Amino acid sequence: MTNKVYLGIDTSNYTTSLAICNEDGKIIANIKKLLDVKDGEKGLRQSDAVFSHIKNLPILSSELASVMENCEIEAVGVSTTPRDVEGSYMPCFLVGRATAMTVAATHGAPVYAFSHQAGHIMAALYSCGMENDLIDKEFIAFHVSGGTTEALYVKPNGNTFAVDIIGATADISAGQAIDRAGVMMGLKFPCGKELEKLANTYEGKLPKPKICVKGSECNLSGLENIAEKLYKETNDKAYVAAYVLNFVSQTLIAITENIRTNHPTIPIVYAGGVMSNKLLQSNLAKYENTYFATPEFSADNAAGIALLARKSHQ
C-alpha cells in the first residue's frame, strides 16, 4: 500500500533541512546538515550559503530514501522568505524553492510556500504537544535565533499564521551575540552548543548582568564588548560562557515579564535555535502557560514546513 506523505524543505542561512510527515501529522523524518563555516568566521555570505545548500541537498535526499519507500509525495512545503513581513528576502531560500518546484513537478504535487519563521512556530507547537490546542487560537511566540530575536503576537490565518511584532531587539539578535562571544574565545561557529557545554562546567557566582530592556525592546550589542573584557581579565571560557547565557536569559525574562503585564494569561511558545539551550528554558519555565520545543525542533528544521504543507493541502 502506498503511504501519502508531505515533504518540507528549509534552506536557511545556517542549515539545510528536509522533513517528512505522514497523513496523520506525525513527523517520520527530520534531517538536517549545518552549512560549512571557516574557522574564525562569524557567519556566511549569501553566495557561500547558496553553494553549501546545493552541495547538501543531494546528500540529505539520499538519506530520505529508506523513509520514502512505498511513499507518495502528496504535497511539498518550502520556506521562501525569512519572516512574514514585506521585503523579507534572502537568496539562500531560492535554493529550497527551486528544489521544491522540481520535486513537485516530477511528482505531480502542489507546492505551498511559507516563511522560515512560520516553520519555527509550527515545529515548536508540534514538539511541545500544543499543536491541536493552539493552532487555531491566539498566542505569543518568541522567535530567538541567529538571525531573529522577536516576540510575536500570533493569530490563525488560514493555513498559516498572522503575526504582529510586539517585542524585538533594537540591534543584533541573541544568536549573533552568542556566536560573536564564542568566536572571540576561539569556538567554532555556530557556537551555541559549545557555549552551553562550557557554561554547564562553571560552578562559581556570576555578577548581575546590566541588561538593556525597555518595555518589550532590548539591546544586545553591548554583550560582545562585555564578554571580550571579561575574557581578557579572566581567560576563563566557562565563566564567560555562563555570563553570556545568563545575560541573554535575563534579557528574555525581562521581556517576558513586561509582556505578561499586558497579556497575563495568554500562552507563550518559545521557538528558534537559541531556545534549545536548557539554561534559558529552565529560567523561563517558571512562568505559567509557557511551552518549549525540544532541541531538534528548536534549531533550524523543516518539520514545521512539512506540517504546514499537510495542513494547507488537507
pLDDT of 38: 86
Taking the C-alpha atoms of residue 158 and residue 313, their distance in angstroms, rounded to an integer, is 12
- Rounded to the nearest integer, the mean pLDDT of the chain is 95
Q: Tell me: the pLDDT tens digits for 272-284?
A: 999 999 999 999 9
Say how far apart CA 203 and CA 208 lie, in whole Å: 15
- % of the chain beyond a pLDDT of 70: 100
CA distance 295 to 287: 20
> In the prediction, which pLDDT does 42 show?
81
Same fold, 3-128+296-313 and 168-292: yes
d(CA 249, CA 285): 11
Of residues 128, 125, 195, 197, the one with CA closest to residue 161: 125
Q: Where are the domains of the chain?
A: 3-128+296-313, 168-292
User: What percent of the chain has pLDDT above 90?
Assistant: 91
Query: Is 199:242 a contact under the CB 8 Å cutoff?
Result: yes
Long-range contacts of 125-130 (CB under 8 A, 24+ apart): 125/269, 125/304, 126/25, 126/27, 126/297, 126/303, 126/304, 126/307, 127/293, 127/294, 127/296, 127/297, 127/298, 128/269, 128/291, 128/292, 128/293, 128/294, 129/291, 130/267, 130/269, 130/291
Q: Which of 153, 110, 134, 162 is CA-nearest to residue 291?
A: 134
Collapsing DSSP to helix, strand or coil, 117 comes out as: helix
Task: Name 10's Cβ contacts closer than 8 Å, sequence gap at least 6.
Answer: 16, 17, 18, 19, 78, 79, 96, 116, 119, 300, 301, 302, 305
Fold of 168-292: Nucleotidyltransferase; domain 5 (3.30.420)
| Residue 271 phi, psi dihedral angles, 5° rounding | -130, 170
How confident is the model over 18-65, as pLDDT tens digits?
999 999 999 999 999 999 888 888 888 999 999 999 999 999 999 998
29 Cβ contact list (under 8 Å, min separation 6): 18, 19, 20, 64, 67
Phi and psi of 309, rounded to 5°?
Answer: -65, -45
- 250 Cβ contact partners less than 8 Å away, ≥ 6 residues apart: 209, 211, 283
Residue 158 has pLDDT above 90, yes or no: no
Average pLDDT over residues 301-311: 98
**Lookup result for grid cell 493541502:** 313
Our measurement of the distance from residue 99's CA atom to the centroid of its chain's CA atoms, rounded to an integer in Å, reads: 21
- pLDDT exceeds cutoff 90 at 293: yes
pTM over 0.85? The answer is: yes
For the chain, how long is the longest CA-to-CA vector? 65
| Per-residue pLDDT tens digits for 196-219 | 999 999 999 999 999 999 999 999
Q: How confident is the model at residue 1 (pLDDT cuts 50, 70, 90)?
A: confident
Query: Beta strands 111-115 and 139-144: pairing type?
Result: unpaired
**Backbone phi and psi for residue 38, each to the nearest 5 degrees, phi listed first:** -65, 145
DSSP 3-state assignment of 6?
A: strand
Instruction: Report, as an integer, the average pLDDT of 261-281.
Output: 94
Taking the alpha carbons of 198, 202, 207, 211 in that order, is the dihedral positive or negative? positive
What CATH number was assigned to the domain covering residues 3-128+296-313? 3.30.420.40
Q: What would the pLDDT profile of 72-92 be if each residue is shown by its tens digit?
A: 999 999 999 999 888 999 999
